[in-house]
Amino acid sequence: AKMAGKNCYRFYSRTMDQAIERRVRMEHDLRGAWERGELTLVYQPIYRTRDRVLVGAESLLRWNHPEDGAIAPSVFIDVAEQSGLIEAIGLLALRNACHEAASWPVPAGAGEAPFVSVNVSARQLRSGDLLQQVADALQQSGLPPERLHLELTETAVISDEANAAALLARLRGLGVKVWLDDFGTGYSSLSHLRRVQVDGLKIDRSFITDLLRDPDDLALTSAIVAMAHSMGVTVVAEGVERAGQFELLRERDCDLVQGYWLGHPMGGPEFVAQLG
């Protein structure tokens, strides 16, 4: 009976051990991944809906693991966030995105060089270092502040609203634009927008996916656009995969669009080639 009990215990603990082991190994591998050149940034183009002129790009991390190959951000950002590694990785992403974007040319028909948007995690937001890091990144790269957009998730901002509101005000004071990411997935989104001043919001992909089929999603998207515009806030729709979605968004006055139908994330040089 003692043996069976022990085996039983080992049986249940093994899968748990494996999951923990995987995380520990990933955390270990993630340390120094940037220095080894395994982490890179790709850029996904963002277009003005009205005339489909390219106006910016979102920078997105990619991890090319020497043994496991390409690992999606949905897997490693979580590990980076929980281990605290995101603070170092996020800073490098910020610096590199600013540095690359500083040399982007003005695309045909645009009048100005594209902005770059950088994702900022909840942990970076709470770290107390963000304002100085952003100021330094701008100064060192020479990127004009208005060409840097910071994407903060709605949940991160709302969970720490008192501090976030003050920090966002200071970031905007530097001249950078602040965007709320994954908008619509958090709780009671609209009321928070009155207290937390932002330049733009990104309607979460989950609303766009069903736009052509689900009248509720279309109604919500239209309402978000109308409400945002009444407060002078710009709206981006992400995850636009079909022409029909794009047409509806144009009809409903959504300012900017991003998605596979318009362009996939791509390496820096490939993005620059698009600007020609």
Rounded Cα–Cα distance for residues 131 and 182 (Å): 22
- Calculate ∠ Cα 151-178-142, nearest 5°: 95
Terminal-to-terminal C-alpha distance of the chain: 74
Residue 93 binding target from ligand C2E, Ca ion, none, CB below 5 to 8 Å by type: ligand C2E
Contact pick of 73, 105, 173, 267 for ligand C2E (by CB under 6 A): 73
In the complex, what is the shortest distance from the CB of residue 39 to Ca ion, in angstroms, rounded to a whole number? 17
Q: What DSSP string describes 67-131?
A: TTEEE-HHHHHHHHHHHSTHHHHHHHHHHHHHHHHTTPPPPTTTSSPPEEEEEE-HHHHHSS-HH
- When binding is defined by CB under 6 A, the residue of 249, 259, 268, 271 that contacts ligand C2E is 259
Confirm or reject binding of residue 88 to ligand C2E (CB under 6 A).
no
Residue of 46, 71, 93, 180 that binds ligand C2E (CB under 6 A): 93
Torsional sign, CA 212, 215, 219, 224: negative
- Cβ 148 to Ca ion shortest distance, Å: 14
Beta-carbon neighbour count of residue 21 at 10 Å?
Answer: 11
By CB under 5 A, residue 182 contacts Ca ion: yes
For residue 63, the tally of other CB atoms under 10 A from its CB is 23
Identity of the amino acid at 186 = G
200 lies in the site for ligand C2E, by CB under 6 A: no
Binding of residue 60 to ligand C2E (CB under 6 A): yes
- Contact status: 154 vs Ca ion (CB under 5 A): no
Pick from Ca ion, ligand C2E, none: which does 260 bind, CB < 5 to 8 A by kind? Answer: ligand C2E
151 binds Ca ion (CB under 5 A): yes
Residues 1-40 that bind ligand C2E (CB under 6 A): none
Q: Out of ligand C2E, Ca ion, none, which partner does residue 73 contact, by CB within 5 to 8 A per kind?
A: ligand C2E
How far CA 70 is from CA of 39, 64, 255, in Å, comes to 10, 5, 33
29 is an interface residue for Ca ion by CB under 5 A = no
Distances in Å between the Cα of 136 and the Cα atoms of 95, 116, 140 are 9, 16, 6
Nearer to Ca ion, 23 or 42 (CB): 42
Q: 210 is in the binding site of which of ligand C2E, Ca ion, none (Cβ under 5 to 8 A by kind)?
A: Ca ion
181 contributes a contact to Ca ion by CB under 5 A: yes
120-179 binders of ligand C2E (CB under 6 A): 121
